[in-house]
Structure 1
Amino acid sequence: MSIFAAALLSINVAAAQEPIIGRASVIDGDTIEIAGERIRLHGIDAPESWQKCQDGDGGTYRCGKEAAFALERFLAASRPTRCETVERDRYKRLVGVCFRADGQAVNHWLVANGYAVDWEKYSMGAYAAALDKARTSGVGIWRGEFQLPCEARAERAKQLPAC
């Protein structure tokens, strides 16, 4: 095998992939599926479907379910969805930045509306301003108290958080 062929084989397949475009099905607040391909939204972290948050009035609600339902409504308003892939994660999902047909950025919208947090470890702070806006406005998970999704997953798995 030539050096050129070996170099081509070593290229990250996801990074070289064409955008994925189609009708998105919501798996959870930060994962969708298009044409049978699971796509984890890059740089954000939404509460898990089982996760509960405080609502600010002394009650609790299933904030992960709320995030998933909000994402479904948001995507349904302007189809199809287009995702630019960044990589594949350890679960073999594509990781990407997605957009509605009208050009609105899905990842950004979720953070700006309080349905997800900026996962700076991966986003390098790309959604920090959106997170500040949501927190200041007290929308979504910011209307009360909540545990960061990565901390909730770690606690449930009895592991140290990887946040």
Structure 2
Amino acid sequence: MLRHLFFTAALILANPVTAGPSGTIHVVDGDTLKIDGTTVRLHAIDAPETDQMCGDANSPAWACGDWVRNKTRQMYEGRSAICVATDTDRYGRTVAKCSVDGQDVGERLVSDGLAFAYRQYGMDYDLAEKGAAVNGRGLHGTGIMSPAAFRSAQRAKARPTTLAQNTGAKTVTVNRGKPTKRSGLPNIVNSNCTIKGNISLSSGERIYHVPGQEFYSKTRISPTKGERWFCSEAEARAAGWRKARN
């Protein structure tokens, strides 16, 4: 209870606020909750759109928006939140900072790499995002586009090839040297899992390749076609894949 009081008091001192909704959480997406019948857009964070795909030249396309929504539901669905409203957005939604058991929900999502700091609306989570990027947590462990850039591309009905600039939310690029472990990502898109699960174009057979095999380096993985990465041969066999003969 004291943590709730400290959280609310800190907000009142830092922001022009009013009382916000409190109650049981229903997760709409990575940055939107429904609480006590009120739709709440979390203050100063931006999560991937539900239909957003992520990926780059080194990481195949994958459904990051749906993944973030599911992870957020695992963390917060059905739990009780206390919110302090900071604004109302152009869609009529209450913009608020919410806490669960005294922890700022927005900060947790950004720190875990499930959302980005939306600096256009506040610098509250700038350091949390930088920490997530440095450690390769969540979305920072794979190719990512800011949700604002994705929305801009959708509006233009174009498929961008580069990250849009000055879109509010932004990603942080960190020179790491050796790749960091991407433990926050599902194995299917986690290229730190080195076994490649390929589907034969001619037969549809599911075949996995391990490092050192003849065709390993030439094999490309496309999750959108049902292909994936595995972290062990046992995992691959359990999923119904056989080892390549070469």
TM-score by length of 1: 0.81
TM-aligned CA distance change 1:64 to 1:94, over 3 Å: same
Residues 19-34 of structure 1: pairs in structure 2 closer than 5 A = 19-34=20-35
Instruction: Kindly provide the CA deviation profile for residues 100-129 of structure 1, in whole angstroms up to 9, marking residues without a partner as x.
Output: 1x1111000110011111011101x21111
Partner residue of 1:143? 141
In 2: Cα distance, 1:81 partner to 1:57 partner: 39
SS at match of 1:69: helix
CA-CA distance at 1:55 after TM superposition? 8.1
Instruction: Kindly provide the CA deviation profile for residues 54-112 of structure 1, in whole angstroms up to 9, marking residues without a partner as x.
Output: 289633221111111121122148x3111111011000000000111x11110001100
Partner residue of 2:151? 153
In 1: Cα distance, 2:44 partner to 2:63 partner: 22
- Aligned CA RMSD, in angstroms, stands at 2.2
In 2: Cα distance, 1:88 partner to 1:74 partner: 25
In 2: Cα distance, 1:148 partner to 1:119 partner: 10
Amino acid at match of 2:33: I
Contact 1:85 1:94 in 2 (8 A): yes
In 2: Cα distance, 1:162 partner to 1:148 partner: 8
TM-aligned CA distance change 1:17 to 1:54, over 3 Å: same
Partner residue of 1:4? none
TM-aligned CA distance change 1:151 to 1:105, over 3 Å: same
Partner residue of 1:73? 74
In 2: Cα distance, 1:72 partner to 1:139 partner: 18
In 2: Cα distance, 1:75 partner to 1:55 partner: 30
Amino acid at match of 1:69: N
SS at match of 2:107: helix
CA-CA distance at 1:23 after TM superposition? 0.7
Contact 1:52 1:62 in 2 (8 A): yes
Structure 2, unaligned runs of 5 or more: 1-15, 158-163, 169-246
Instruction: Kindly provide the CA deviation profile for residues 9-50 of structure 1, in whole angstroms up to 9, marking residues without a partner as x.
Output: xxxxxx664231111111111000012110000001000011
Contact 1:41 1:98 in 2 (8 A): yes
In 2: Cα distance, 1:18 partner to 1:81 partner: 13
In 2: Cα distance, 1:33 partner to 1:55 partner: 33
Partner residue of 1:35? 36
Q: Does 1:116 align with 2:138?
A: no
SS at match of 1:48: coil
In 2: Cα distance, 1:155 partner to 1:26 partner: 25
Of residues 41-50 and 55-64 in structure 1, the stretch that sits farther from structure 2 once superposed is 55-64
In 2: Cα distance, 1:31 partner to 1:16 partner: 19
Structure 1, unaligned runs of 5 or more: 1-14
SS at match of 2:128: helix
How many residues get paired? 146
> Bigger relative contact order, structure 1 or 2, given CA contacts below 8 A and separation 6+?
1
In 1: Cα distance, 2:114 partner to 2:68 partner: 5
